[in-house]
Amino acid sequence: MSQQQQPQTQAIRLQTQKTAQMEHSTPLFLTSSFTYHSAEEMASAFADDSLDINIYSRFSNPTVDEFINKITALEGAEDGVATGTGMAAVFSTFMTFLSKGDHIISASAVFGSTHTILTKYLPKWGFEFSYFDMNQPETIEALIKPNTKILYVETPSNPGLDIIDLEYVAAICKKYKVLFVVDNCFATPAVQQPIKWGADLVLHSATKFIDGQGRVLGGVVVGRKDLIKELYLFVRNTGPSLSPFNAWVLSKSLETLYVRMDRHAENALELATHLQGHAKLSSVKYPMLLSHPQHAIAKKQMSNGGGIVTFELKGGIESGRTFLNALQMLSMTNNLGDSRSIASHPASTTHSKLSDAERAAVGITPGLIRISVGLEHIKDIIKDIEQALEKC
């Protein structure tokens, strides 16, 4: 593949080598294992941990490799590894690069399951963690200890759409020799490439915008070759591998990623602009609105604002439930990044078990609504949200 080709072209043209059938669309290698011509060839396959020869689909698979190669190219990385879910990507990264007694610094505004790993499981196994406020990146440096090994952020964050200057954080990590890990799920490589700004590893829940139609689960981590080799060995030996079928779906989805993200962002910006100043809302948040606190940073490191809009209902939790119940077209589900628009109310659903103080600490207010803006006609999206707001 020519290095001169644009990422949009690579997302479409990077494919598994053609078989003897000379297929145009890449095939699905739905097999658990692979065969050899001789006992000697089989023995050599097991002689080291390289991926030169396929052994078993928990280790490697041509269809999974195609998906990894595409994400690696789009993110500007050297290598990658795929996992069964986004959370498997997060957990595998933590467990590969942390040892007992090590310390991780994370933005407090992270996905709920990542929060659970950091606060419930890592301390149980002898890992320390510290949170910082993404709106106060100047506080990061004071949190770094001699045993700090990882700094972890989502940008934009879920669900609060907080954004952090990747270049600024990367400089701190480089100064203290801390591994900089970025969850790029909300932006996707079509919108933002954190490695360009200094990230060491970039991960995704491919379940979201990368799939784009709410069909399959998947995760992926890309970055420096030496880091990915360690991560690959952890995934290979512990087993959270991506299935070939899901990899095939995700690889095909990447062919339309740039087109979809452009339309998601176009719809999201129009929705956010329309809702500004609405009588039932106290605020509207979207990276490409001038009112977003980190608008200048978003303009610097993102090509568009992505597909997520949040707004604050004046009526709090009860108003949030009323709004969801009044929707006629938008889906109610905990997923996002779908071709269909989705509404969720974190305070009464995904984060309902947290105390008010805990929710406030991670930016989840009582009336916060998260809209994953889909690919429907924007007039229909606005119409459904408007009629639901009138009933709040």
DSSP of 191-245? T--GGGGT-SEEEEETTTTTT-SS----EEEEE-HHHHHHHHHHHHHH--BPPHH
204/291 same-domain check: no
Q: What pLDDT does 272 receive?
A: 98
Same domain for 175 and 289, yes or no, is no
pLDDT (0 to 100) of residue 51: 61
- Considering the domain architecture, whether residues 244 and 270 belong to the same structural domain is answered as no
Shared-domain flag, residues 229 and 268: no
Residue 1 lies in a domain: no
Q: How many domains does the chain have?
A: 2
Both 271 and 192 in a single domain? no
d(CA 297, CA 301): 6
Are 246 and 294 contained in the same domain?
no
Residue 267's domain comprises 257-390
Which of 212, 227, 256 terminates a domain? The answer is: 256
Give the model's pLDDT for residue 47: 83
pLDDT of residue 290: 98
Same domain, 131 and 163: yes
Domain match, 250 and 275 both = no
Quote the pLDDT of residue 46: 84
- 243 and 276 part of one domain: no
Task: Encode the chain (392 residues) as per-residue pLDDT tens digits.
Answer: 445 799 999 999 999 999 999 999 999 999 999 999 999 888 888 887 666 789 899 999 999 999 999 999 999 999 999 999 999 999 999 999 999 999 999 999 998 899 999 999 999 999 999 999 999 999 999 999 999 999 999 999 998 999 999 999 999 999 999 999 999 999 999 999 999 999 999 999 999 999 999 999 999 999 999 999 999 999 999 999 999 999 999 999 999 999 999 999 999 999 999 999 999 999 999 999 999 999 999 999 999 999 999 999 998 889 999 999 999 999 999 899 999 999 999 888 777 767 788 778 777 899 999 999 999 999 999 999 999 999 99
- 242 with 265, same domain? no
Residue 272 located in a structural domain = yes
Does 2 fall in a domain? no
Contact 319, 392 (CB under 8 A): yes
Phi/psi for 96 (5° steps) reads -75, -40
Q: Does residue 154 lie in a domain region? A: yes
pLDDT of res. 49: 66
What CATH number does the domain containing 121 carry?
Answer: 3.40.640.10
Report DSSP letters for 58-120, one per residue.
Answer: TT--HHHHHHHHHHHHHHT-SEEEEESSHHHHHHHHHHHH--TT-EEEEESS--HHHHHIIII
Residue 358 lies in a domain: yes
Strand ordering across the sheet containing 342-344: 281-285, 308-313, 368-372, 342-344, 331-332
Could you give the 3-state DSSP secondary structure of residue 285?
strand
Final residue of a structural domain among 256, 285, 317: 256
Question: Is 203 inside a domain boundary?
Answer: yes
**189 belongs to a structural domain:** yes
Same domain, 203 and 321: no
Residue 86 lies in a domain: yes
Domain C-terminal end among 256, 272, 301? 256
Residues 375 and 246 in one domain: no
CATH number for position 284: 3.90.1150.10
